[in-house]
Amino acid sequence: MAQESLLSNDLLRQLVAVGQVDILVGLPTLNHASTVPDIVRTVQSTFSTYFPRQRTVLLNSDGGSDDNTPAIVRDCCLDEAATVTMSHSLRTTHRISTPYHGVPGKANALRRIFAVADLLGAGVLVVLDPEVVSLTPEWVAALARPIRDQQFDFVAPVYPRHPMEGLLVTQLLRPLIRAAYGRRVREPLAGEFGCSSKFAAYCVEQPVWDSDLTQNSIDLWLTGTALAGPFTTCQAWLGPRVLATGLHRPGLAEVFKQVVGSAFQALDAHADYWLPRTISEDVPLLGAALGDPADTPPHDGTPLVQSFSRDVKDLEEILRVILTPETLAAVTASAEHDDGPRYPDEVWAATVYEFLVAYHRSVMRRDHITQALLPLYLARSGTFLIEHAAGVPDTVNEALESVCRAFERSKESAVERWNQTT
């Protein structure tokens, strides 16, 4: 049973009125008044179209919005078409908006959502991102059905992406998580996901909610927990992921520090699981893409590599502490290549693993370690873009697969280095 101390008396009264539910959709928010009306309508349409016989509830966990977001969620009017559809639903759909206490952020919002799902006995929980404006009822159904119909515990999203899109995922997170956990998950940063009551109850009881691991990048911790725990995991095709414009978001340096630091922390926490694993396995991918990739993003990598050589020289003292002499020599040679900068897959994989081990050892302040990796990541991304700028999608996808295989080949030596520190 969830920790009822997480739930206010007012919320508990509302939940008693709702009773047990089959499907709960959670929506964490903080000043998302511009996007929540469409999301509420989409969720209501999902319930009536795909789950008319299920007991359903939409739960908004709000971090203290000052733009009237909670009231909009509660009072949002459906358009005429949606109202007609809802009239055919065989169950009453409930909407609840509740504030959560503590530091604003997705982690604390999700903790409350998990606790409510546990208390209501929700067999299916779907969590949505309030900044996504491309959400459709099919998305929600695609995340819920594998749990309801096939008893999966965790459903990770897959978006139709152009191969040059999402380089932090394709060049670093995807190959690292795949090689370490031995599971081929395309989107480790699960902005939207579905999960079972078993998974929600497990997560809410974990003693990590006030740590940097969950506060900085809860999405990675959830994916790692699903892969390392006693849970069945699958992936579901969604549509192109389009974010709302005009909302404040942190810059690349802050995002990189949070995401990569959290990935390294998750691997630290799950070391007993991933260190012995020697193979990678496919994770079932269900359905078909719900739309085509967005327009091809610009992919001129030249600006990203212009300072590669200078960055390596400027960081030399730090890199000597983090990298082995062999890897440092290979990185330096890559930066000073006669035909222009190069950053081969094997050298990049060794770089990331040795930064991971340095992070594990805390050879210096951990935020300094992730900060030092950023220029190397930019150089790797830039050289990848330059090399494959003219490539057709199939060729570029094969290059992305090559990066993942390089991380798998390099894992054994990384594990040996890791074990030398324990």
Q: Residue 421 — very low, low, confident or very high, per pLDDT cuts 50/70/90?
A: low
Of 346, 242, 332, which is closest to residue 294 (Cα–Cα)? 242
Q: Is residue 170 part of a domain?
A: yes
Q: Residue 82 — very low, low, confident or very high, per pLDDT cuts 50/70/90?
A: very low
* Count of other CB atoms within 10 angstroms of residue 398: 12
Residues 35 and 139 grouped into a single domain: yes
Quick: pLDDT tens for 107-165: 899 999 999 999 999 999 999 999 999 999 999 999 999 999 999 999 999 999 888 88
Q: Cα(33)–Cα(30) distance, rounded to whole angstroms?
A: 9
Q: Is the pLDDT of residue 88 over 80?
A: no
Q: Is residue 294 part of a domain?
A: no
Looking only at the bridges linking them, the beta strands covering 56-62 and 23-29 are parallel
Helix H or strand E segment including 48: helix 36-50
**Model-level pTM?**
0.93
The per-residue pLDDT for 80 is 45
Mean pLDDT to the nearest integer, 393-404: 93
| DSSP-derived 3-state class of residue 236 | strand
The per-residue pLDDT for 32 is 94
Of 258, 286, 314, which residue sits at a domain end?
Answer: 286
Q: Cα(164)–Cα(387) distance, rounded to whole angstroms?
A: 11
Q: Is residue 65 part of a domain?
A: yes
Domain range for 276 is 4-286
The per-residue pLDDT for 2 is 45
The per-residue pLDDT for 86 is 46
Residues 355 and 253 grouped into a single domain: no
Residues 181 and 223 grouped into a single domain: yes
Q: Report the domain count for the chain.
A: 2
Q: Cα(142)–Cα(220) distance, rounded to whole angstroms?
A: 21
Of 419, 407, 409, 399, which is closest to residue 177 (Cα–Cα)? 407
Q: Cα(8)–Cα(4) distance, rounded to whole angstroms?
A: 8
Residues 197 and 314 grouped into a single domain: no
**Rounded to 5 degrees, what angle do the CA atoms 30, 35, 41 make?**
120
Q: In the Cβ-directed half-sphere of 145, how many Cα atoms lie within 13 Å? A: 17
Q: Is the pLDDT of residue 90 over 60?
A: no
Q: Is residue 296 part of a domain?
A: no
Residues 225 and 311 grouped into a single domain: no
Q: Which two tokens stand for residue 303?
A: 């600006």
Q: Is the pLDDT of residue 284 over 90?
A: yes
Mean pLDDT to the nearest integer, 204-209: 90
Residues 184 and 265 grouped into a single domain: yes
Of 286, 316, 350, which residue sits at a domain end?
Answer: 286
Of 87, 17, 110, which is closest to residue 57 (Cα–Cα)? 17
Task: Name residue, tokens 């327009």.
Answer: 295
Quick: pLDDT tens for 349-366: 999 999 999 999 999 999
Phi, psi of 62 (to 5 degrees): -110, 140
Q: Is the pLDDT of residue 3 over 70?
A: no
Cβ partners under 8 Å of residue 193, min gap 6: 126, 127, 143, 154, 155, 156, 157, 219, 222
Q: Is residue 323 part of a domain?
A: yes
Quick: pLDDT tens for 255-268: 999 999 999 999 99
Residues 368 and 256 grouped into a single domain: no
Q: Cα(97)–Cα(335) distance, rounded to whole angstroms?
A: 53
Of 254, 286, 318, which residue sits at a domain end?
Answer: 286
Residue 358 exposed, middle or buried by CB count within 10 Å (0-12, 13-18, 19+): buried
Q: Residue 84 — very low, low, confident or very high, per pLDDT cuts 50/70/90?
A: very low
Residues 8 and 64 grouped into a single domain: yes
Say if residues 360 and 347 touch (Cβ distance below 8 Å): no
Say if residues 112 and 6 touch (Cβ distance below 8 Å): yes
Residues 276 and 309 grouped into a single domain: no
Compute the mean pLDDT over every residue in the chain, rounded to the nearest whole number.
Answer: 91
